[in-house]
């Protein structure tokens, strides 16, 4: 048999195996569906059957096949390595999106998260990790094998089957695909350095610094999926929280975890966590920066404690057994004892209960011949308006909005709470009328106050935060409160893209704000997979000028499409932008125009006039339509082609260098820059001579 015929025969054999895997998955689905129906029939009056039905229904949902590949490769262990595979020592393991087994329970496809799958992602010719062969399937429509990529670890010559960049063909194909408006999982193409982060233990707090296109978002989401696999019972009960920078970003990543069969996840934004306090105003940058300073945590706590008033007069308590008068010193002792632990709300309740206990004890001593009931005394004191007014003066019932409004609106309270913490000028900067809307910078302060008063909010088994470089120290505290143990955290970001007032400038500061959880470490992803080298080179010129200390992202992709720079006068700018956007839309599926917000109305009107299809404001990317975004809205998104508008005006804005860096790194195929001369010096050398 010729070599070509042997390859064809091997491909047909693998196709038969894959076809059988789909049949086995269908059989698993039928068995689970039948078991769920049986449990449903027994559920009325049977709690165990009700629970089983819920679990089996979730299993049926997770087994339903979709268009994504079920199985994307296989690994063969060295003979005698101890693997059981699907047929004994040294036999293959087929790696895929979910576990599939036959009717007797033997594995047909192994879930990518299983320990046995680790070498599929990490084996190299230098360290084969016990493998003799790694085979990747190149698939069409998810189910049809069109080629095989083999790496025989006993034959170094097969290392040449990867591209010159060292990446396997399936990964290059994925990187080069058109963007469809939503992020895809990377389960078939996880790189070794990404896999080590994904499989980090649940109680290891991770900060992942990654430049544009390094896959940090995908890594964070896949870590969540891995942890749900490893700690199913715990995390399905406690849940996983994913925080993104805005709703547009959440829509973009919304399909990743469901595609991996994971639904025990809450995806929201920081304002989404604080939905009780709608954001209706924008803070001045200097005020937002100060409100995000971690020093504000103690200021807020002091403002909560400032509401306590020690009694000056005796407390008279009327009951059905007579009145009891407690002297100020005794009440003060009870107040201090109650304030020793727990939230303010718990302390307040404890103080009131201690008053009831003390009154009960006094009456018992007086009326030894009468049964004195503490519950009746508590009811009497609740009805005694004078007693309630006195107790409320000493320890009022507080809410977070009342505390924060009072802090900013009353100079005396601010001076008391901020003494020794904030300067007089800083205190004055925070002053504002006691009424008015909340800004996004207020939310962590409100959350801090509520935690002091009512205790921690709902906590999750694991928390993933993306674009975390824009979180202030106070916002980081807000995040840490959502972690059940304060340690199960994945913090993702790129310091080069920090643009918000009070944004994180060093990850060490972020770790401090998170409470310095034990074992916290920073991982760096420096290899870019998404942004082509010629586009990344343009962005790196900017990075080298304004943030020379940050590591530059090195792209593994190089295409033939050089960045295009188009000069235009101020009067011609909008027309030139729309013309270029229409041109690239004819060649690419997803296109974004990224411009300062002041230009949006004029650009959108020109799009309408020229009949260029566009997405609605705030909508996720849509193939065949142009998305019009400002640089901050574009964070975390990717498009086939991007038109960056007037980089000089972007640079002139607050945090302009970071915003321009974001805009320049959203394209995965083509970048156009339409500018009003002169081009910013950092980009000037990117324009071809002549």
Cis check for the bond before 678: say yes or no (omega within 30 of 0): yes
Joined together, the tokens standing for residue 392 give: 């409320």
423 CB contacts (<8 Å, ≥6 apart)? none
**Band (371; pLDDT cuts 50, 70, 90):** confident
CB 659 within 8 A of CB 687: no
CB 627 within 8 A of CB 607: no
CB 215 within 8 A of CB 198: no
71 and 172 together in one domain: yes
Our CA angle for 473, 476, 482, nearest 5°, is 155
- Is residue 518, in this structure, part of any structural domain at all? yes
The pLDDT tens digits of the residues spanning 556-575 come to 888 888 999 999 999 999 99
Domains: count for the chain: 4
Question: What was the pLDDT predicted at 88?
Answer: 40
Torsion of CA 246, 251, 257, 263, to 10 degrees: 90
User: What are the two backbone dihedrals, phi and then psi, of residue 248, each rounded to the nearest 5 degrees?
Assistant: -60, -45
Greatest mean pLDDT range, 24-28, 151-155, 294-298, 534-538: 294-298
For residues 416 and 609, give the distance between their C-alpha atoms in angstroms, rounded to a whole number: 59
651 CB contacts (<8 Å, ≥6 apart)? 657, 660, 680
Q: Among candidates 512, 534, 508, 502, which has minimal Cα distance to 654? A: 502
680 and 650 together in one domain: yes
546 and 408 together in one domain: no
The pLDDT tens digits of the residues spanning 328-368 come to 999 999 999 998 888 999 999 999 999 999 999 998 888 76
300 and 227 together in one domain: yes
CB 498 within 8 A of CB 469: yes
Q: End of a domain among 348, 377, 394? A: 394
Residue 178 pLDDT exceeds 70: no
For residues 502 and 475, give the distance between their C-alpha atoms in angstroms, rounded to a whole number: 10
**Band (85; pLDDT cuts 50, 70, 90):** very low
Taking residues 82-101, what's their average pLDDT?
Answer: 71
- Is residue 690, in this structure, part of any structural domain at all? no
- Is residue 268, in this structure, part of any structural domain at all? yes
Q: End of a domain among 507, 527, 547? A: 527
Our CA angle for 224, 225, 229, nearest 5°, is 115
424 and 359 together in one domain: no
485 and 618 together in one domain: no
* Average pLDDT value over all residues in the chain: 88
253 and 224 together in one domain: yes
Q: Among candidates 196, 194, 193, 147, which has minimal Cα distance to 185? A: 194
Facing residues of 525 across strands? Answer: 210
Question: What was the pLDDT predicted at 179?
Answer: 52
Taking residues 219-243, what's their average pLDDT?
Answer: 92
Torsion of CA 379, 383, 385, 387, to 10 degrees: -20
For residues 126 and 337, give the distance between their C-alpha atoms in angstroms, rounded to a whole number: 65
Question: What was the pLDDT predicted at 261?
Answer: 72
564 CB contacts (<8 Å, ≥6 apart)? 580, 670, 671, 672, 673
Q: Among candidates 444, 537, 481, which has minimal Cα distance to 211? A: 537
Q: End of a domain among 366, 394, 422? A: 394
Roughly what angle, to the nearest 10 degrees, separates helices 296-305 and 400-409? 100
Q: What is the CATH number of the domain that holds 197?
A: 3.40.50.300
39 and 121 together in one domain: yes
Our CA angle for 250, 253, 259, nearest 5°, is 135
Taking residues 206-228, what's their average pLDDT?
Answer: 93
- Is residue 143, in this structure, part of any structural domain at all? yes
Q: How far is CA 453 from the centre of its chain?
A: 27
388 and 438 together in one domain: no
Residue 428 pLDDT exceeds 80: yes
149 and 27 together in one domain: yes
For residues 668 and 176, give the distance between their C-alpha atoms in angstroms, rounded to a whole number: 8
For residues 283 and 272, give the distance between their C-alpha atoms in angstroms, rounded to a whole number: 18
Q: In terms of residue numbers, what domain contains 278?
A: 192-307+398-527
Question: What was the pLDDT predicted at 41?
Answer: 74
For residues 677 and 498, give the distance between their C-alpha atoms in angstroms, rounded to a whole number: 27
Taking residues 245-251, what's their average pLDDT?
Answer: 86
Residue 241: enclosing H or E segment and its boundaries? strand 240-244
Task: Report the relative pairing of strands 107-111 and 100-101 from DSSP bridges.
Answer: antiparallel
209 CB contacts (<8 Å, ≥6 apart)? 216, 493, 494, 495, 507, 522, 523, 524, 525, 551
The SS3 call for residue 269 is strand
302 and 323 together in one domain: no
503 and 601 together in one domain: no
Taking residues 274-294, what's their average pLDDT?
Answer: 94
Taking residues 488-502, what's their average pLDDT?
Answer: 94
The SS3 call for residue 614 is strand
For residues 482 and 312, give the distance between their C-alpha atoms in angstroms, rounded to a whole number: 40
Roughly what angle, to the nearest 10 degrees, separates helices 385-394 and 374-383? 90
- Is residue 689, in this structure, part of any structural domain at all? no
């Amino acid at each position: 048999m010729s070599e070509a015929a042997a390859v064809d025969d091997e491909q047909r054999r693998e196709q038969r195996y894959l076809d059988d895997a789909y049949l086995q998955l269908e059989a698993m689905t039928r068995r689970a569906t039948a078991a769920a129906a049986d449990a449903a029939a027994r559920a009325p009056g049977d709690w165990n059957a009700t629970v089983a039905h819920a679990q089996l229904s979730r299993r049926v949902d997770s087994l339903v096949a979709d268009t994504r590949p079920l199985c994307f490769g296989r690994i063969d262990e060295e003979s005698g390595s101890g693997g059981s595979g699907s047929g004994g020592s040294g036999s293959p393991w087929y790696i895929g999106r979910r576990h599939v087994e036959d009717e007797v329970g033997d594995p047909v496809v192994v879930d990518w998260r299983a320990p046995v799958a680790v070498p599929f992602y990490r084996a190299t010719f230098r360290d084969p990790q016990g493998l003799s062969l790694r085979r990747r399937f190149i698939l069409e429509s998810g189910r049809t094998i069109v080629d095989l990529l083999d790496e025989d670890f006993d034959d170094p010559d097969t290392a040449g089957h990867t591209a010159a960049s060292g990446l396997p063909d399936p990964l290059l194909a994925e990187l080069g695909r058109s963007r469809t408006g939503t992020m895809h999982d990377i389960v078939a193409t996880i790189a070794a350095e990404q896999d080590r982060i994904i499989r980090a233990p649940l109680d290891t707090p991770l900060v992942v610094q990654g430049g544009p296109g390094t896959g940090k978002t995908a890594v964070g989401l896949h870590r969540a999926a891995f942890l749900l696999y490893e700690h199913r019972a715990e995390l399905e009960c406690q849940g996983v929280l994913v925080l993104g920078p805005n709703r547009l970003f959440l829509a973009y990543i919304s399909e990743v975890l469901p595609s991996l069969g994971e639904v025990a996840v809450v995806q929201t934004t920081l304002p989404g966590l604080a939905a009780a306090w709608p954001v209706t105003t924008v803070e001045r940058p200097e005020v937002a920066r100060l409100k995000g300073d971690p020093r504000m945590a103690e200021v807020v706590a002091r403002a909560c404690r400032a509401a306590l008033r020690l009694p000056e007069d005796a407390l008279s308590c009327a009951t059905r057994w007579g009145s009891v008068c407690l002297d100020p010193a005794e009440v003060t002792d009870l107040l201090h004892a109650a304030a020793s632990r727990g939230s303010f709300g718990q302390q307040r309740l404890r103080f009131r209960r201690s008053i009831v206990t003390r009154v009960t004890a006094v009456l018992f001593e007086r009326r030894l011949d009468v049964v004195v009931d503490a519950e009746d005394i508590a009811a009497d004191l609740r009805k005694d308006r004078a007693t309630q007014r006195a107790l409320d003066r000493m320890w009022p019932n507080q809410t977070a909005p009342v505390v924060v409004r009072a802090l900013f609106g009353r100079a005396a309270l601010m001076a008391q709470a901020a003494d020794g913490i904030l300067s007089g000028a800083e205190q004055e900067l925070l002053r504002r009328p006691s009424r008015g809307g909340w800004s996004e910078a207020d939310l962590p302060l409100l959350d801090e106050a509520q935690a002091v008063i009512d205790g921690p909010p709902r906590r999750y088994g694991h928390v993933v935060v993306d674009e975390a470089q824009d979180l202030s120290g106070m916002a980081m505290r807000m995040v840490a409160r959502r972690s059940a143990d304060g340690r199960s955290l994945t913090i993702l970001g790129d310091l080069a893209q920090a643009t918000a007032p009070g944004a994180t400038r060093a990850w060490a500061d972020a770790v401090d704000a998170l409470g310095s959880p034990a074992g916290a470490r920073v991982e760096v992803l420096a290899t870019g997979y998404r942004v082509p080298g010629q586009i990344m080179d343009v962005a790196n010129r900017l990075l080298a000028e304004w943030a020379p200390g940050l590591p530059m992202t090195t792209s593994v992709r190089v295409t033939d499409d050089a960045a295009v720079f188009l000069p235009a006068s101020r009067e011609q700018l909008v027309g030139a932008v729309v013309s270029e956007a229409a041109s690239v839309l004819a060649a690419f599926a997803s296109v974004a125009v990224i411009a300062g917000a002041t230009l949006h109305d004029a650009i959108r009107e020109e799009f309408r006039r020229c009949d260029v299809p566009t997405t609605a404001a705030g909508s996720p990317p849509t193939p065949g339509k142009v998305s019009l975004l400002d640089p901050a809205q574009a964070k975390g998104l990717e498009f086939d082609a991007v038109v960056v508008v007037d980089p000089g005006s972007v640079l002139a804005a607050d945090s302009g260098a970071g915003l321009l860096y974001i805009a320049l790194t959203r394209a995965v195929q083509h970048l156009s820059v339409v500018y009003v001369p002169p081009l910013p010096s950092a980009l000037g050398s990117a324009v071809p001579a002549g």
